[in-house]
């Protein structure tokens, strides 16, 4: 399912219909906004024989046939999915990046002819985590892709991907999905629920909303976490610093805390009166995101980074 991203869907509808699809696309933008779902949707449209006859958009690709189910489950023989968690030959327990071993295996697989006239498609998530050797090896694949071969490269930031790879792929930006699109979906899917609260927690991440709608346990967990953060935020800076001490060593909770704090500051942008006030609030969010990136990408002290993050916009007292 694709929520929003109408411009991107129209583009893929057009190139699939005309047969002018590029050999590589770099889908970049915030996490869980719909990049991976788009890659799967296009892959489904290309390998499912029944797609063309249905007369629907790529956003609605997938009719429940065996081929569509195989794509969705990652079992289709001509579609390879690779990231730091889904490996090809490397040791999952020790990998912190996509290593050259997996890229060599990808090259080996793509050296064989596909079944019939099928497409061979690789969906590489977290492409920015490729090791330097893997980047060099992958670049050679991109330079000689072969017929009916398609690469979807997914990253949260275009700037984090090696320029040599970026230059050989068509870049498509994905932005957060507007609340006006997410809210109706939540109201229809979860009647009786507080759609505004769910949408606010999502921060435009359509993937998060869809997962909460489909799995009540995930929604309950999100609510519990949101309540923890709300209680800490209501206590002002002292509460935030206490929260930082609790979650500083927990990567998952730290990630969620960053998201929740951005949601908290986002409200200040929406409620600010005057251009100057809105710019000031937006600048605070930018600094928080920079600190978040530092925790993810460097050896920054997580506890110190959280304290600095919470200092942005937190009142001194509850």
pTM given for the model: 0.84
CA dihedral 147, 36, 157, 119 (to 10 degrees): 0
> Which residues, at least 6 apart from 83, have a Cβ–Cβ distance to it below 8 Å?
98, 124, 125, 126, 129
What pLDDT score does 251 carry? Answer: 81
Residue 115's pLDDT is: 64
Distance of alpha carbon 7 from alpha carbon 17, whole angstroms: 16
Residue 272 φ/ψ, nearest 5 degrees: -65, 140
Beta-strand ranges (E) seen in 218-293 are: none
Report, as an integer, the average pLDDT of 38-66: 86
- Of the pLDDT bands very low, low, confident and very high (cuts 50, 70, 90), residue 317 is very low
pLDDT in tens, 143-171: 888 888 999 999 988 998 999 999 999 99
Q: Show me where the domains of the chain are located.
A: 6-173, 215-311
Question: Taking 60 as the threshold, does the pLDDT of residue 315 lie above it?
Answer: no
**Is residue 213 pLDDT above 60, yes or no?**
yes
Contact 206, 34 (CB under 8 A): yes
The answer to whether the CB of 76 falls within 8 A of the CB of 47 is yes
Specify the CATH number of the domain 6-173: 3.40.50.300
Strands ordered across the beta sheet of 24-28: 79-82, 120-124, 149-155, 24-28, 170-173
Q: How confident is the model at residue 33 (pLDDT cuts 50, 70, 90)?
A: very high
Alpha carbons within 13 A on the beta-carbon side of 121 = 24
Q: What is the mean pLDDT of residues 108-122?
A: 80
């Amino acid at each position: 399912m694709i929520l929003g991203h109408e411009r991107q869907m129209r583009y893929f509808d057009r190139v699939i219909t005309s047969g002018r699809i590029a050999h590589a696309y770099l889908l970049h933008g915030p996490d869980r906004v719909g990049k991976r779902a788009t890659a799967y949707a296009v892959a489904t449209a290309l390998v499912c024989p029944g797609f063309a006859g249905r007369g629907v958009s790529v956003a609605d690709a997938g009719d429940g046939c065996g081929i569509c189910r195989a794509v969705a489950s990652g079992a289709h023989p001509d579609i390879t999915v690779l990231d730091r968690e889904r490996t090809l030959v490397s040791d999952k327990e020790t990998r912190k990046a996509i290593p050259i071993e997996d890229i060599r295996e990808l090259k080996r697989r793509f050296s064989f002819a596909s079944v019939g006239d099928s497409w061979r498609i690789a969906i590489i998530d977290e492409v920015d985590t490729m090791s330097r050797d893997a980047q060099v090896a992958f670049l050679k694949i991109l330079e000689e892709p072969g017929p009916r071969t398609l690469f979807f490269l997914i990253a949260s930031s275009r700037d984090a991907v090696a320029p040599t790879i970026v230059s050989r792929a068509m870049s498509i930006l994905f932005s957060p999905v507007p609340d006006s699109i997410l809210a109706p979906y939540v109201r229809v899917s979860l009647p009786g629920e507080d759609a505004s609260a769910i949408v606010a927690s999502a921060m435009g991440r359509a993937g998060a909303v869809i997962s909460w709608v489909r799995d009540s346990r995930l929604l309950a967990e999100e609510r519990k976490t949101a309540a923890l953060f709300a209680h800490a935020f209501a206590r002002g800076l002292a509460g935030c610093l206490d929260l930082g001490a609790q979650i500083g060593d927990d990567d998952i909770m730290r990630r969620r805390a960053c998201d929740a704090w951005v949601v908290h500051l986002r409200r200040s942008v929406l409620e600010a009166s005057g251009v100057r006030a809105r710019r000031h609030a937006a600048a605070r969010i930018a600094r928080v995101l920079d600190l978040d990136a530092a925790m993810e990408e460097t050896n920054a002290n997580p506890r110190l980074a959280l304290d600095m993050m919470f200092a942005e916009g937190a009142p001194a007292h509850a």
